[in-house]
């Protein structure tokens, strides 16, 4: 089986078109690393170009849907349907020529994410999910891992930024988890791909503070449809409002919540 609904097809087409620009620009990054100006401005331009293509393609297919995107903010139309867009999740990786970043697009219906795409253009991996129809990686069904002991798990996180008000808390959480697992905590630099990797069973859990909605929107449905859990640090559903997100397989959720309390 594969996902082939109209909305999923629209999202995949938009992501693939935007990815052509992103791949081409990524090829220029290495040259810019040694330039006096550096790649910073170039990356901002790439971000905006990718966003423009996504908005144009999604808008053509669904002209009445609202849009929330990282760069431009909100375009208000029919509030019952809304695209949630992150043009480049993992911008710092992109900036430094590290091939680990993704395009993330989620679709919200009446405040609930009903389908999502996370596209890693460099590895040509499309993570896709739709409510009630499962999660897929390049048309192969995805499931979360079955590891049940935290000590044996691979756990991802991100941050904190140097200026974060929760910096000390995040470092303390990192220390706590580091003392519980045998494999060192991973920081990969792309929250959307971190969530996609939990859905694919490549890692077992992910936690992070202060993420924006567009960072996590597509990942929410990917993980849920793959059999995983998405909660805040207390095990509740206020992860968007609280800006604390915990993503796990179905077996280590409670153990991770206990550490985060």
* 3-state secondary structure string across the chain: CCCCCHHHHHHHHHHHHHHHHHHHHHHHHHHHHCCCCCCHHHHHHHHHHHHHHHHHHHHHHCCCEEEEECCCEEECCEEEEEEEEEEEECHHHHHCCCCCCEEEEEEEECCEEEEEEEEECCCCEEEEEECCCEEEECCEECCCCCCCCHHHCCEEECCCCCCCCCHHHHHHHHHHHHCCCCCCCECCCCHHHHHHHHHCCCCCEEEEECCCHHHHHHHHHHHHHCCCEEECCCCCCCHHHHCEEEEECCCCHHHHHHHHC
Using the predicted structure, report yes or no on whether residue 189 has a pLDDT greater than 90.
yes
- Chain-centroid distance of CA 121 in Å reads 14
Question: What pLDDT, on a 0 to 100 scale, did the predictor assign at position 154?
Answer: 98
Residue owning tokens 């590895």: 123
What tokens does 49 get? 């170009």
Residue range 150-260, CATH number:
3.40.190.80
Domain ranges of the chain: 6-141, 150-260
What average pLDDT score do residues 165-171 get? 93
What average pLDDT score do residues 112-118 get? 97
**75 vs 66: CA distance, rounded Å:** 6
Average pLDDT score, the chain: 93
**75 vs 68: CA distance, rounded Å:** 6
CATH (one of 3.40.50.12780, 3.40.50.300, 1.10.10.10, 3.30.540.10) for 6-141: 3.30.540.10
For residue range 144-159, what is the model confidence (pLDDT) as tens digits?
A: 999 999 999 999 999 8
* pTM assigned to the model: 0.94
Of 161-175, 176-190, 227-241, the poorest mean pLDDT is in 161-175
Could you give the percent of the chain with pLDDT greater than 90?
82
Using the predicted structure, report yes or no on whether residue 68 has a pLDDT greater than 80.
yes
Using the predicted structure, report yes or no on whether residue 188 has a pLDDT greater than 60.
yes
Question: What pLDDT, on a 0 to 100 scale, did the predictor assign at position 71?
Answer: 85
Using the predicted structure, report yes or no on whether residue 203 has a pLDDT greater than 60.
yes
């Amino acid at each position: 089986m594969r996902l082939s609904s109209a909305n999923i097809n629209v999202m995949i087409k938009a992501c693939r078109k935007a990815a052509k620009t992103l791949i081409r620009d990524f090829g220029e990054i290495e040259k810019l690393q040694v330039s006096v100006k550096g790649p910073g401005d170039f990356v901002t331009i790439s971000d905006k170009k990718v966003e423009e293509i996504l908005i144009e393609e999604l808008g053509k297919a669904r002209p009445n849907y609202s849009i929330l995107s990282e760069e431009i903010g909100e375009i208000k139309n029919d509030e019952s349907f809304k695209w949630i867009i992150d043009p480049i999740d993992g911008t710092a990786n992109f900036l430094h020529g590290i091939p680990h970043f993704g395009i993330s697009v989620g679709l919200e219906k009446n405040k609930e994410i009903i389908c999502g795409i996370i596209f890693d253009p460099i590895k040509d991996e499309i993570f896709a999910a739709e409510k009630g129809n499962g999660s897929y990686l390049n048309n192969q069904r995805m499931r979360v891992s079955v590891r049940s002991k935290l000590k044996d798990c691979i756990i991802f996180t991100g941050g904190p930024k140097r200026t974060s008000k929760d910096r000390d808390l995040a470092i303390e959480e990192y220390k706590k988890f580091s003392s519980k697992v045998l494999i060192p905590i991973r920081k990969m630099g792309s929250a959307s791909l971190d969530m996609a990797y939990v859905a694919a069973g490549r890692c077992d859990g992910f936690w992070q503070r202060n993420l924006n909605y567009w960072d996590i929107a597509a990942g929410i449905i990917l993980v849920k449809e793959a059999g995983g859990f998405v909660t805040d640090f207390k095990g509740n559903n206020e992860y968007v409002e609280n800006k604390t997100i915990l993503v796990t397989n179905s077996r280590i959720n409670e153990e991770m919540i206990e550490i985060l309390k």
